[in-house]
Amino acid sequence: MNVIELARESGMAVILDGRIGREEYQSVCGSLSALQRFADALRAATANEYFCPVSPHTGPCRFGSSRAGDRQGVSHSGR
């Protein structure tokens, strides 16, 4: 998950404030509605990583619904 991309996609401005060696320092600014979209996108991305781990045997899991309350378990037994 790239939080900088999530911020941009949510309508926030990402500004490079400085660079010291290999470390970059960035600021993010935007409206309250952009902040809410960012929070929603971050929550969805985090839930997706938590509920849909990638199995080395079966690949990413698949669910019938994108809502956390509707998730159904997927067997990763390779069958």
Tell me which residue range forms the domain holding 51.
3-61
The pLDDT value recorded for residue 48 is 76
In a domain, 24, yes or no: yes
In a domain, 67, yes or no: no
The pLDDT value recorded for residue 52 is 59
pLDDT by residue (tens digit) across 20-76?
999 989 999 999 999 999 999 999 988 877 665 555 555 555 544 444 444 444 434
- The neighbour count for residue 7, using CB atoms within 10 Å, is 22
| Residue 1: band (very low, low, confident or very high) from pLDDT cuts 50, 70, 90 | confident
Nearest CA to 65 out of 78, 52, 54, 79 is that of 52
In a domain, 79, yes or no: no
Q: Are 7 and 28 in contact (CB under 8 A)?
A: yes
Q: Is 2 helix (H, G, I), strand (E, B) or coil?
A: coil
Token pair for residue 62?
């698949």
The pLDDT value recorded for residue 36 is 97
Please state the domain count of the chain. 1
Q: What is the pTM of this model?
A: 0.57
